[in-house]
Chains A and B, each alone.
Chain A
Amino acid sequence: MLKEYFKIAVKNLKTRQLRSWLTILGIVIGVFLIMSLLSLSQGLKNTVLQQLKAVGTDIVMIMPGSISDIMTTMMGGVELSDEDLEVVKNTRGVEVVIPNLYKGEIVKYQNESKTAILYGIDIRNALDVYVNDMGMKIATGRWALPGKRELVVGSLVPTDIFPGMKIGTTINIKGRQFEIVGVLKSMGSKQDDSMLGLDIDLYRDITGARKGAPQAIAKIAPGFSVDQVAKDIKNNLEEQAKRRAGQQGESSYSVLTSDAMSGIVGNIMGIIQVVVFAFGSIAVLVGGIGIMNTMYTSVRERTREIGILKAVGAKNSTIVLIFLMESGIIGLVGGLGGMIPGLGLAKLIQAIGQVHPMFYIEASVSPGIILFGLFFSFGVGCLSGFFPARTAAKLKPVEALKHYE
């Protein structure tokens, strides 16, 4: 009989088409907001976590400043000093320390100039860490040799940034010629795949960043507990900072294992998603109030009709079901109507991001997000229709029949 009630519900909605569509529009806007923002934030989370996953579990990241105040540290330009790097290197259990050095520079290939990210690679001391722990593997060609003006480039450089770029050709960075000797396999992120990697000494020479590094990466030697060594690094750095306190003030450091980094990123993105969802939900809530308003109006207008249905044998539960179906359909159609342009917009932003690498963002359109959107909007519809439906069902047949429109 559900099919029959559904038909009645659709007929009722069709009878008041303009009002039904306007109510649906309220839900469309809310779901549109939620879907576009959720898919983008989920995509962002996936991308970041994927990048972190590429980092080995025996790797820790060292940054100056407290993790709870990470933005101040990054914006303030606080860096690790050479002494800091030395302290890390001398900590028991640390196999190797790699300063994490990158900077945007204008580079010229043939007649074309573009801004690209230069990445300083410690080829002499830690090539195996880059290859085995950070997923930087050569696809074609070979690795650059230490001290030589040679470059390895990310997989997107010869396809997207300088289309047609070939191994053996040269690229001009700040007036110096570098030979392209290798192309890396994709590392799964647009930024990593767009970089130009060169020997660390040459990097320092070109960019002028002669000392320290914004962050550093340490590989933990086999047989040591990653968490314990991370703690030791932090303690050693802070002790050293205390010794210098008289001159420079006390400093704090963050030493993050790959698990901790994933956790932090996951948490931050989770908070972003909750905020996005909360704001989107407000819009859907307004849409829900619209549904409730429409349904209450409908109950008032159809009081006599409800009386007729009861007189010919409709139970209270049947009346509730018909009204809930009407509001559920409004919610569901609104959900579908909001989801299609919402996810479309997210994909459009992703497409724009692929043309302009600075805005690179991935949109995650998973069956989960689609199902969630549909259930959510249907649920809001049903919930909004519940009280009007109950009011309708509670009407006494004889009184409802006396009602004149």
Chain B
Amino acid sequence: MAVQPVIKLEKVWKTYQFDHLALSVLKNISLEIAPGAFVVILGPSGSGKSTLLNMLGCLDLPTKGVVYLDGRDIAKMSEDELAQARGRKIGFVFQQFNLLQNLNALENVALPMIFQGKSELVRTKRAESLLTSLGLQERIAHRPSELSGGEQQRIAIARALVNDPEIIVADEPTGNLDSTTGKKIMEILIDLHKNEKKTIVVVTHDPTIADYSSQIVHIKDGEIVENHINHEKMVLWKK
């Protein structure tokens, strides 16, 4: 790969220690994600997909091996640097939406900008524009409990985009949605890749999205069994 990867995993292990039992969820994983890639991670339940995604999103640190974000070893970054990296460089979309129940849609979307020191005016403008672009202009003042699953996930996507991150990490974003709504969410992610030039890493079971992707990673029992890169689709994205 000619371009420097935005995220690189080098012989990464993640092992959990339970009293006398050590359980390795990730085993010797090496993986590179190029800027602008659309990566789909596939695998059965309990295969380590989410753990891998957490590692890629700097939410977790490896037990062994190295994770590089823009060439920097994340284990050597301070907690504050990691928090800043998550806030600025990476946007998360979760299966459970993970919106704050006591904040309305606008406040939820604007929340990550507070931690980047953005003024209220800038925050509100940006959050409103994102919510409008995702068709939620009527839902701005609603709390998550007053919204459908699809709407909540769109708010979560808006929140992931609010700091204009380079990478969007999505963990089964359609897992809690019906197929029609799920399809719409996937279309949004594809649109973000095509038009917003975002690097997308998504854990999914959706075969249609796998068709669109530029890189498919199959994982089983904590090991990568297939890492297929479609170079033609990679070119499609390049600036």
Task: Tell whether B38 is near chain A: CB-to-CB under 8 Å.
Answer: no
Q: Which of A269-325 contact B (CB under 8 A)?
A: 304-305, 307-318
Task: Tell whether B92 is near chain A: CB-to-CB under 8 Å.
Answer: yes
**Beyond A312-B111, A312-B112, A313-B115, is A398–B54 a contact (Cβ under 8 Å)?**
yes
Task: Tell whether A19 is near chain B: CB-to-CB under 8 Å.
Answer: no
Contact B103 A310 (CB under 8 A): no
- The chain A residue with its CB closest to the CB of B58 is A397
- The chain B residue with its CB closest to the CB of A14 is B102
CA distance in complex: A312, B57 (Å): 11
**Beyond A312-B92, A315-B79, is A4–B100 a contact (Cβ under 8 Å)?**
no
Contact B88 A313 (CB under 8 A): yes
Binary contact track B93-120/A, C-beta < 8 Å → 1, others 0? 0100011111100000001101111001
Task: Tell whether A174 is near chain B: CB-to-CB under 8 Å.
Answer: no
Task: Tell whether A248 is near chain B: CB-to-CB under 8 Å.
Answer: no
Contact A311 B59 (CB under 8 A): yes
Of the candidates A5, A14, A315, the one whose C-beta lies within 8 Å of that of B84 is A315
- The chain B residue with its CB closest to the CB of A308 is B98
Task: Tell whether B159 is near chain A: CB-to-CB under 8 Å.
Answer: yes
Residues of chain B with a CB closer than 8 A to A309's CB: 111, 115
Task: Tell whether A15 is near chain B: CB-to-CB under 8 Å.
Answer: yes
**Beyond A312-B111, A312-B112, A313-B86, is A304–B80 a contact (Cβ under 8 Å)?**
no
Contact A304 B103 (CB under 8 A): no
- The chain B residue with its CB closest to the CB of A3 is B120
Contact B86 A310 (CB under 8 A): yes
Residues of chain A with a CB closer than 8 A to B120's CB: 4
Of the candidates B54, B59, B115, the one whose C-beta lies within 8 Å of that of A318 is B115
Closest chain-B Cβ to A381's Cβ sits at a distance in Å of 21
Q: Which of B55-75 contact A (CB under 8 A)?
A: 57, 59-60
**Beyond A304-B98, A313-B163, A316-B83, is A11–B103 a contact (Cβ under 8 Å)?**
yes
Binary contact track B3-31/A, C-beta < 8 Å → 1, others 0? 00000000000000000000000000000
Closest chain-A Cβ to B169's Cβ sits at a distance in Å of 10
**Beyond A1-B117, A401-B98, is A311–B86 a contact (Cβ under 8 Å)?**
yes
Contact A313 B84 (CB under 8 A): yes
Of the candidates B87, B94, B103, the one whose C-beta lies within 8 Å of that of A313 is B87
Residues of chain A with a CB closer than 8 A to B114's CB: 1, 4-5, 8
Residues of chain A with a CB closer than 8 A to B102's CB: 11-12, 14-15
Number of interface residues of B (CB under 8 A): 28
Residues of chain A with a CB closer than 8 A to B79's CB: 315-316
Interface residues on A, range: 20 to 34
Closest chain-A Cβ to B70's Cβ sits at a distance in Å of 16
Contact B80 A311 (CB under 8 A): no
Task: Tell whether A114 is near chain B: CB-to-CB under 8 Å.
Answer: no
**Beyond A15-B102, A318-B115, A398-B60, is A310–B83 a contact (Cβ under 8 Å)?**
yes
- Kindly count the residue-residue contacts between A and B in the assembled complex, taking CB atoms under 8 Å apart: 66
- The chain B residue with its CB closest to the CB of A397 is B59
CA distance in complex: A401, B57 (Å): 13
Contact A312 B94 (CB under 8 A): no
Task: Tell whether A396 is near chain B: CB-to-CB under 8 Å.
Answer: yes
Residues of chain B with a CB closer than 8 A to A313's CB: 83-84, 86-88, 112, 115-116, 163
Of the candidates A312, A315, A401, the one whose C-beta lies within 8 Å of that of B80 is A315
Contact B159 A401 (CB under 8 A): no
Residues of chain B with a CB closer than 8 A to A304's CB: 98
- The chain A residue with its CB closest to the CB of B159 is A312
Residues of chain A with a CB closer than 8 A to B111's CB: 309, 312
CA distance in complex: A154, B86 (Å): 78
Q: Select the residue from A1, A312, A314, A401 with max chain B CB neighbours within 10 A.
A: A312
- The chain A residue with its CB closest to the CB of B98 is A308
Closest chain-A Cβ to B114's Cβ sits at a distance in Å of 5
CA distance in complex: A109, B210 (Å): 108
Q: Which of A52-92 contact B (CB under 8 A)?
A: none
Of the candidates A305, A315, A318, A397, the one whose C-beta lies within 8 Å of that of B100 is A305
- The chain B residue with its CB closest to the CB of A404 is B96
Closest chain-B Cβ to A180's Cβ sits at a distance in Å of 73
Q: Which of A36-52 contact B (CB under 8 A)?
A: none
Binary contact track B182-196/A, C-beta < 8 Å → 1, others 0? 000000000000000
Contact A311 B115 (CB under 8 A): no
Residues of chain B with a CB closer than 8 A to A315's CB: 79-80, 83-84, 115
Residues of chain A with a CB closer than 8 A to B100's CB: 305, 308
- The chain B residue with its CB closest to the CB of A316 is B79
Residues of chain B with a CB closer than 8 A to A15's CB: 101-102
Of the candidates B59, B84, B101, B112, the one whose C-beta lies within 8 Å of that of A398 is B59
Show 7 A/B contacts (Cβ-Cβ < 8 Å), sorted by A. Answer: A310-B86, A312-B86, A313-B163, A314-B87, A314-B115, A315-B80, A316-B83
| Interface residues in chain B, defined as those with a beta carbon under 8 Å from any beta carbon in chain A | 54, 57, 59-60, 79-80, 83-84, 86-88, 92, 94, 98-103, 111-112, 114-117, 120, 159, 163
Apart from the given pairs A8-B114, A308-B99, A313-B87, 17 other A-B contacts in the complex at a CB distance below 8 Å:
A1-B114, A1-B117, A4-B114, A5-B114, A307-B98, A310-B83, A310-B86, A311-B98, A312-B111, A313-B116, A313-B163, A314-B83, A314-B115, A315-B79, A315-B80, A315-B115, A318-B115
